[in-house]
Amino acid sequence: MTTELTLDARGYCPQVRQVVSPNHDARLDGDAVKVVVVHNISLPPGEFGGDDIERLFTNRIDPAARPGYDELARLRVSAHFLIRRDGELVQFVPTEARAWHAGVSQWCGRARCNDFSVGIELEGCDFAPFEAAQYISLLAVLRALAHRYPLEAIVGHSEIAPGRKTDPGPFFDWAQVHAALPQLRPA
């Protein structure tokens, strides 16, 4: 993957694979992207690879494939980007639209973080380190976002939904991200 990414006028990154998710809607007028929310996801839980994450974000997950998938099949969720273990970057929702990634959330006293954030899912879990290739892709997309939007911070899902979410988890290397992009430290 190239380490230089751009976003077009609609918020698509033409250098990455596009998989369209129906799980998004328009941002409200005046809602500029200010925050990037980092998540982790693995489907089945604790396993990497396969297409279950893409199936979840496109409402095509098989409810009978695994225990618990019946509940997942009812969800309507997405993220703007997914970064696979090998660093592959997949875009589901243009950044000019509101992806459904944060749920009940609050940042700096403002609720509904989906309204003013971009969600990036890292293929991973709370119990294993992320791969170097994932950080390379993450930093590339963060630079593109910082070039386009007046970003104020990069935060974990756990910071905007404390007590409800734990991702990106204890193995996420915040120091590496903040060293590369010190202007995106949390408020």
* Domain residue limits at 165: 17-39+77-184
Enzyme catalytic residues: 121
**pTM across the whole model:** 0.96
Element (H, E) at 18: strand 17-18
The total domain count for the chain is: 1
Do 133 and 87 contact (CB within 8 A), yes or no? Answer: yes
Residue 70 is assigned to a structural domain of this protein: no
CATH number of the domain within which 23 lies: 3.40.80.10
Closest by CA to 94, choosing from 9, 159, 15, is 9
Eight-class DSSP state of 130: P
pLDDT tens string, the chain, 187 residues long: the values are 557 999 999 999 999 999 999 999 999 887 899 999 999 999 999 999 999 999 999 999 999 999 999 999 999 999 999 999 999 999 999 999 999 999 999 999 999 999 999 999 999 999 999 999 999 999 999 999 999 999 999 999 999 999 999 999 999 999 999 999 887 766 5
Task: Give the integer Cα–Cα distance in Å for 177 and 111.
Answer: 25
